[in-house]
Each structure stands twice: as structure tokens, then as C-alpha cells.
Amino acid sequence: MATGFFWDERCFWHHGGNYALTLPVGGLVQPGAGLPESPETKRRLKNLIEVTGLAGALRMQGAPPASEEELRRVHPAAYLTAFKALSDRGGGELGLRSPFGRDGYETAALSAGLATAALREVLDGRLANAYALSRPPGHHCLPDWPNGFCLLANIAIAVEAALAEKRAERIAVVDWDVHHGNGTEAIFLSRPEVLTVSLHQERNYPLDTGGAEVRGEGPGHGANLNIPLPPGTGHRGYLEAMDRLVLPALRRHRPDAIVVACGFDASALDPLGRMMASAETFREMTRRMKEAAADLCGNRLVLVHEGGYSEVHVPFCGHAVLEELSGSGIRAPDPLGATIRARQPGPAFDRFLSDHLSDLAAHFGLGGPRPPGPVPAAS
């Protein structure tokens, strides 16, 4: 079976308001190039897989927009009505840093539909695994409050559809976007059947969420893991966090499917993060998720695009993920890989991070000693 790649040109046409980076233009803020959440990172990823020929190894396809029934499993009718009305009037902003133009509602529903279809096709056994190039992103969106470029909670909508349709009973969401997946966390905070794990730069965005002390509520206690990582965490640190925390949490939950919130803003080149990941880091994390899916849930693995704002680097990070996901031998070597390797943190930082991860493992009840040797460097 093939790896599915879900995309739609109309998602690239989504546009926001008059911003300079993340600041509204006005006063002393000079007009600039707009929000960092632009179509170019996504379009250039899709272009790169076509130029290298990797697209030929994928099943490229679209999907219908998420239906109103699917949206209302996550978002209240009042929010959807207000969103649609403002979209029809030409757009605007309902929440925080989440502007949209005319047809913003339809584009967001289409983005959610790509994620929903990708998970459904994998659960039904029609695809080996899948990647949804969703835009606008979704992991910051609360049920009634759009936030951080996110207008609808794409992954939550897909997960709720899979559960409601009895295609799965237990699902795990692993979020490696550099920003905390606060929306996904909030939606499933009291739900024991959905494990939510977020690896993120500590105190980046949002500033008031993402602490390790938030474990879930009521029956969902223990099904939420926040893994805040210090700025500067690089290839070794991310893989150690995956091996010592994420994989044991997945084994404990034993999901029917794994969904990854695949942001590329932990890249060393990202303007909204301060991490040191390379394309190889994302390849290795994907490899671990693919192996976990093989061990735990019959290979049922879906990646949904979230953040990532370096127009130059995101395409190569995404290509590496898709190479690994599909098993293709077609390569697009990271042109910045050597520079990022040279800038990786040294042994003192790695020891500090290992101690931090040991504390988190104890807090989460995952146990296990620190690995006997260092995680291999990015090749």
C-alpha cells in the first residue's frame, strides 16, 4: 500500500490581515511581509516533492471539507456561525493572531477535511500511512477561540470523527511543533481514550500553557504529557526525549492509531523558534513514530502539517519526513545540514537536558535510567 499525501491548492490561498511578523501593522509597526504563516512553506514542500520525483511514490489526493457534523463535534455552533458570517463579509479576526479573509471558513473546513480523510483512509486500510498538508493549521485552536494562526482544530476534528465512526477506540496524538499544542490538549483534557503528548520549547507560545504539571482532568488524568524543552535543544535532545518519554507513553497507552502534529518550527532556521533541529531530526522522529505504529497499532500512522516558517528549510525537513514515511530512496539532501550540525549544543548542555528528562520521566511515572551512551549525532 502507498503513503497518502493529502493537499489542496485552495489551502495555499488562505490569507490573513495586515501584519508584520506577528504584530498588527499600525503605530510604530511598519507594514511588512505579513504573517509568518504564509503559503510558501507548504507550497515549496509540495513543489520539492514534485521536482525530486518523490510525489510519484505517494498517492497524491484531495478530500472534501469537513462537514458541519464533524466540525460540531469539536466546535460549538455559535462559534461556527460567527466564523462563517465574518468570512462571508470579507474576513477579519475573531481570536488572537488568527486573521482570515473571504472564504476563510471554507478554507479552514477544507484543511480539517484533509486531516479527517487522511486518518479515515489509514484506519480503513486503504493507505499504509498518510500526510495531510493542512493549512491553516489547527493545534492552537480552542473549541470557541481561534488562536495562533489556527481557525479550526484539524487534528481534534479528525480524531473525533474516527472515534464517533467506531473506526478506533484509542488514539494518541504526538505534537512536535515548537509551540505547545494547547488546543488539542484542552479538547481532550478529560478524555482517557486520547493520549496527547506535546514536545515544545518551554515558554514560547502560548506563554501560559505547556507545563509538565498538567496531566489531564478527571478520568483523563495521566493521558496528557507536556514535555517542555529548553531553548537550544538540538538533534540529540529531541531524540532522547522521544526515546525516554514519548515512546514509553505510547506503549503505555496502546493506541489504535498515532497522529502526529507535524510542525517544522523546531528547525534551526525558524523565525518563531529557538531550537536546533535539522531535517535529519525530523526524519529520525518520523522513523520512531513509524516503528511505534508498527509495534502498537498495525502501522496506522498519520502526520498532519502544523507550523514551520522558514521558506528555505521547511521543504527539506518535510521531504525527509516523507522519504521516511513512504520508504522511498529518493533524497533531497538538506543544504543546511552541515551548518546545523556544527551549531549543535555541546556535552554540558546534553548532560543538563538528560537530567531534565530524567526529572520528567519520574514525574510521568515512566521510569527508566538515562541511556548508557549519547544519541548518535545527525548524519
For residue 93, how far is the Cα from the chain centroid?
23
Distance CA 239, CA 281 (A): 7
Separation in Å, CA 96 to CA 17, 23, 102, 151, 329: 12, 11, 18, 10, 42
Active site residue 235: no
Return the C-alpha cell found at 235.
538533534
- How far apart, in whole angstroms, are the C-alpha atoms of residue 289 and residue 260? 8
32 and 24 Cβ atoms separated by less than 8 Å: no
The catalytic position among 75, 140, 180, 253 is 140
Burial class (CB in 10 A: 0-12, 13-18, 19+), 226: buried
CB 223 within 8 A of CB 253: yes
Helix (H, G, I), strand (E, B) or coil at 130: strand
The answer to whether the Cα torsion of 68, 71, 72, 73 is positive or negative is positive
Q: Which residues contact 147 (CB under 8 A, 6 or more apart)?
A: 95, 96, 97, 98, 140, 141, 182, 183, 206
Cα 45 from chain centre: 15
Task: Determine whether 213 is exposed, middle or buried from the number of CB atoms within 10 Å of its CB (0-12, 13-18, 19+).
Answer: exposed
Q: Are 239 and 344 in contact (CB under 8 A)?
A: no
As a whole number of angstroms, the distance between CA 179 and CA 201 comes to: 6
Cis peptide before 136 (omega within 30 of 0): yes
**Interstrand relation of 19-20 and 23-24 (parallel, antiparallel or unpaired):** antiparallel
* Distance of alpha carbon 341 from alpha carbon 337, whole angstroms: 6
Residues with a known catalytic role: 140
